[in-house]
């Protein structure tokens, strides 16, 4: 241990002595790390860790007859989503659920398509519809509790409050990307946006894009980012039709008729933090729903995640493949380090003659490989950022962009270090086993 | 075979019937065939012999840089055959100093750091190391060159740095492999004066391999090595054949 600083200094000198060889090793590892990073961040986008949420979160399911469900689109004959009856309730049933007063927190949500523009008629800057004043965007209606119940991080400002909801103040939270489109990514809190022509004050801006596996609404999973978040009650003011309602029976053309219908489109979550709350809520459901002969179920978060599992994807295979290629680059590095050890044989022989045991020389070589790997890991990780940006701009397979999270950075760095150090084990062992007489005799 | 232990105290080096065989595929070469030698503490021994006679192999075995196949070797009374690499390295670091024909300085370490190498593996505190290095460099007239790289020094100066490196650890045994082989005659003489002085003033045991009869004559004892066998000329009967003195270099 006491020799680590000394060996680090010697290793650093050694790297500078063979700059070409050192640079080659670094580039081989960094390029491999960069290739690996592409597959890795795809993988993490799909299967990455999910946020810690309250264990008391439950979703209320009210059973409907799958055979009678019809897709919202006129003339569609497609079968309804398998998840639809498990994740949505009708507006009238939502009103029953929301009136319990039992959960610590509760929230309802559905998604619509609304026209969104910056105030004053400024054109949206993305160029998607640059000649128009507004674009149709995904607008999500949520209760204020949504942001805390689902751990949504805000970059600027805060969500609207319960008081704002009660006072019917027009408040809105922007998604990260809409904020970039309308306000060039600057802090837009306090600014006004127009939604279906009505002014709304921006109270906050989300920090992240929604995850692929958004718990709050599986219909939004896998893409179709929500651009703007509005108070749930505003769906009546805006006469907003849900993006994909499922009808049991025909519904008239007016919004009021939708709300009174048995169409299902609201996802409803409650946070029941104590066993007493859970028991009380079960009794409430039995009284209000069971009495009417409705099938219902209180599904906890673990059950929910099991039900809406992300299906297997080819990205797992490609991640493994790039990791194997990465490990293969370790073989090239191992050969380069063997060559380096050969070139440095005389010096290692002198160190042996002066009293350095084999173990010390082995660790000295490993330290040198660690330095090289750390440089390569830093370079590979840095390269991964512009590569992800390039992918998002020019390739883009999904509405949810690739993102270099801290976890991705840590994994890329750790994998590069592991490959670099692993590839140095054999060359270091060989170097430390060299007979000093051979090298000194040749010298 | 020379076993000339005259002192009652533990000899610095005692070899008996040491064999060293190099193997390359099916070919075996016996570089040392039953070397027997005792060197007392404070003795200055010169070993001469033609190229390929086993001089360097003898120094490698004596310096614990290489193993051997048969016989016994006691270094300062310690049986080296029983020691593992870590113990051998410690013994080499603490008791033996090496001087090589081609100096073997680390090219990108300056004089101070070159001399520091064996002390680092000794585990001495920084202040002790600094003091020892400065003392040794001062003794060898190299203080002004402390921050020079080996490439900025003459051959004689480089060899003096190598000697400083060997001495800084205050070893009991100095093994010198043709220490003047790469030097001009003036520098070579200065280096020999230095070695003789170290032996006389500090009582350090020196075993030196050389081709040069003049320098060998400055040792207390001269031995010859031929085909891996050590021969003491004093023990050779008159009229017997002795190897001709090879040319220097």
Q: Name the residue of chain A whose CA is nearest to B84's CA.
A: A357
**3-state secondary structure string across chain A:** CCCHHHHHHHHHHHHHHCHHHHHHHHHHHHHHHHHHHHHHHHHHHHHCCCCCCCCCEEEEEECCCHHHCEECCCCCCCCCCCCHHHHCEEHHHHHHHHCCCCCCEEEEEEEEEEEEEEHHHCCCCCCCCCCCCCEEEEEEEECCCHHHHCCCCEEEECCCCHHHHHCCCCEEEECHHHHHHHHCCCCCCCCEEEECCEEEEEEEEECCCCCCCCCCCHHHCCCCCCCEEEECCHHHHCCCCECCCEECCCCCCCHHHHHHCCCEEEEEEEECCCHHHHHHHHHHHHHHCHHHCCCEEEEEHHHHHHHCCCCCCHHHHHHHHHHHHHHHHHHHHHHHHHHHHHHCHHHHHHHHHCCCCHHHHHHHHHHHHHHHHHHHHHHHHHHHHHHHHHHHHHHCCCCCCCCCCHHHHHHHHHHHHHHHHHHHHHHHHHHHHCCHHHHHHHC
pLDDT score for A347: 86
pTM for this model (two decimals): 0.78
Residues of chain B with pLDDT under 50: 5-7, 236, 240-249
Residue from the list A17, A354, A356 with its beta carbon closest to the beta carbon of B108: A17
Residues in B touching A358 (Cβ below 8 Å) = 85, 89
Would you give per-residue pLDDT tens digits along chain A (443 residues)?
788 999 999 989 888 888 999 999 999 999 999 999 999 999 998 888 888 899 999 999 887 655 555 554 444 555 556 666 678 899 999 999 999 999 999 999 999 999 898 876 544 444 444 334 568 889 999 999 999 999 999 999 999 988 898 898 999 999 998 998 889 889 999 999 999 888 999 999 999 888 888 888 877 666 678 999 999 999 999 999 998 788 777 888 899 999 998 888 999 999 999 999 999 999 999 999 988 888 888 999 988 888 888 888 899 999 999 999 999 999 999 999 998 888 888 888 889 889 999 999 999 999 999 999 999 999 999 999 999 999 988 888 877 888 899 999 999 999 999 999 999 999 999 988 877 764 555 44
Of B108, B121, B177, the CB nearest to A354: B121
pLDDT of residue A68: 54
**Separation of alpha carbons A160 and A141, rounded Å:** 12
- Looking at chain B, which runs of residues are DSSP E strands? 13-24, 27-39, 44-48, 70-75, 78-79, 96-99, 173-177, 205-209, 221-226, 229-231
Report the distance separating Cα B45 and Cα B208, nearest Å: 6
Spell out where B63-124 has E strands: 70-75, 78-79, 96-99
d(CA B52, CA B50): 6
* Residue A148 C-alpha, separation from nearest chain B C-alpha, in angstroms: 57
Q: Which of A155, A230, A143, A245 is nearest to A195 (CA)?
A: A230
- Residues A440, B93: C-beta atoms closer than 8 Å: no
Contacts of B165 in chain A (CB under 8 A): 354
- CB contacts < 8 A, A to B, total 72
**Chain A contacts to B (CB-CB under 8 A):** 2-3, 6, 13, 16-17, 346-347, 349-360, 435-437, 440-441, 443
ipTM confidence score? 0.85
Instruction: List the single residue in A6, A16, A356 with the smallest CB-CB distance to B89.
Output: A356
Q: Which residue's entry shows tokens 């994909």? A: A244
Q: Do A11 and A374 touch, CB atoms closer than 8 A?
A: no
pLDDT of residue B89: 92
Q: What is the SS3 assignment for B83?
A: coil
Contacts of A349 in chain B (CB under 8 A): 104
The whole-chain average pLDDT of chain B stands at: 86
- In degrees and rounded to multiples of 5, residue A34 shows phi and psi of -65, -45
Q: How far apart are CA A288 and CA A224, in angstroms?
A: 35
């Amino acid at each position: 241990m006491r020799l680590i600083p000394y060996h680090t200094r010697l290793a650093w000198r050694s790297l500078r002595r063979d700059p070409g060889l050192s640079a080659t090793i670094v580039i081989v590892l960094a390029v491999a790390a960069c290739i690996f990073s592409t597959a890795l961040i795809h993988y993490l986008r799909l299967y990455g860790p999910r946020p810690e949420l309250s264990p008391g979160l439950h979703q209320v399911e009210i059973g409907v007859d799958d055979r009678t469900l019809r897709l919202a689109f006129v003339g569609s004959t497609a079968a309804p989503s398998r998840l639809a009856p498990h994740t949505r309730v009708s507006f009238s049933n939502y009103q029953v659920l929301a009136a319990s007063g039992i959960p610590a927190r509760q929230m309802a949500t559905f998604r619509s398509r609304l026209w969104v523009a910056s105030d004053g008629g400024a054109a949206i800057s993305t160029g998607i519809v640059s000649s128009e004043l507004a674009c149709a965007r995904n607008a999500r209606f949520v209760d204020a509790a949504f942001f805390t119940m689902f751990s949504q991080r805000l970059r600027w400002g805060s969500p609207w409050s319960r008081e704002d909801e009660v006072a019917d103040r027009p408040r809105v939270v922007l998604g990260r990307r809409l904020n970039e489109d309308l306000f060039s990514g600057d802090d837009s809190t306090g600014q006004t946006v127009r939604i279906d022509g009505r002014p709304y004050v921006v109270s906050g801006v989300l920090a992240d894009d929604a995850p692929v596996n958004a718990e709050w609404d599986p219909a939004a999973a896998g893409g179709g980012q929500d651009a703007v978040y509005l108070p749930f009650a505003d769906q009546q003011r805006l006469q907003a039709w849900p993006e994909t309602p499922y009808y049991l029976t025909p519904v008239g053309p007016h919004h009021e008729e939708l709300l009174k219908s048995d169409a299902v489109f609201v996802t409803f979550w409650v946070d029941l933090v104590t066993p007493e709350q859970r028991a009380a809520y079960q009794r409430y459901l039995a009284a209000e729903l069971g009495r009417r002969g409705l099938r219902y179920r209180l599904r906890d978060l673990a059950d929910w995640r099991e039900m809406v599992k992300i299906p297997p994807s080819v990205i797992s295979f490609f991640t493994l493949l790039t990791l194997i290629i990465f490990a293969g680059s370790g073989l090239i590095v191992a050969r380069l380090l063997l060559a380096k050890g050969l070139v440095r044989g005389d010096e290692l022989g002198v160190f042996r003659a002066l009293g350095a045991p084999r173990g010390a020389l082995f660790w000295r070589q490993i330290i040198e490989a660690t330095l090289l790997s750390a440089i390569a890991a830093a370079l590979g990780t840095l390269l991964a950022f512009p590569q992800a940006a390039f992918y998002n701009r020019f390739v883009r397979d999904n509405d949810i962009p690739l993102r270099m999270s801290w976890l991705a950075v840590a994994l890329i760095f750790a994998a590069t270090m592991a490959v670099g150090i692993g590839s140095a084990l054999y060359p270091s062992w060989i170097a430390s086993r060299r007979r000093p007489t051979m090298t000194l005799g040749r010298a | 075979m020379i076993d000339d232990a005259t002192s009652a105290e533990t000899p610095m080096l005692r070899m008996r019937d040491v064999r060293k065989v190099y193997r390359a595929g099916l070919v075996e070469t016996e570089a040392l065939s039953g070397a027997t030698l005792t060197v007392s503490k404070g003795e200055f021994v010169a070993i001469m012999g033609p190229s390929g006679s086993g001089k360097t192999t003898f120094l490698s075995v004596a310096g614990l840089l290489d193993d051997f196949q048969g016989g016994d070797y006691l270094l300062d009374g310690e049986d080296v055959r029983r020691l593992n690499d870590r113990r051998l390295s410690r013994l080499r670091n603490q008791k033996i100093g090496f001087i090589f024909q081609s100096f073997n300085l680390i090219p990108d370490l300056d004089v101070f750091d070159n001399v520091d190498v064996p002390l680092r593996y000794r585990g001495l505190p920084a202040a002790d190391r600094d003091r020892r290095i400065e003392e040794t460099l001062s003794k060898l007239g190299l203080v002004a060159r402390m921050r020079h790289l080996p490439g900025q020094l003459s051959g004689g100066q480089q060899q003096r740095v190598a000697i400083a490196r060997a001495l800084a650890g205050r070893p009991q045994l100095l093994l010198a492999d043709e220490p003047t082989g790469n030097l001009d005659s003036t520098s070579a003489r200065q280096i020999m004066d230095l070695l003789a002085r170290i032996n006389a003033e500090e009582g350090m045991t020196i075993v030196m391999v050389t081709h040069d009869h003049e320098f060998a004559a400055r040792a207390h004892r001269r031995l010859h090595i031929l085909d891996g066998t050590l021969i003491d000329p004093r023990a050779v009967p008159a009229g017997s054949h002795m190897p001709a003195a090879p040319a220097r270099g």
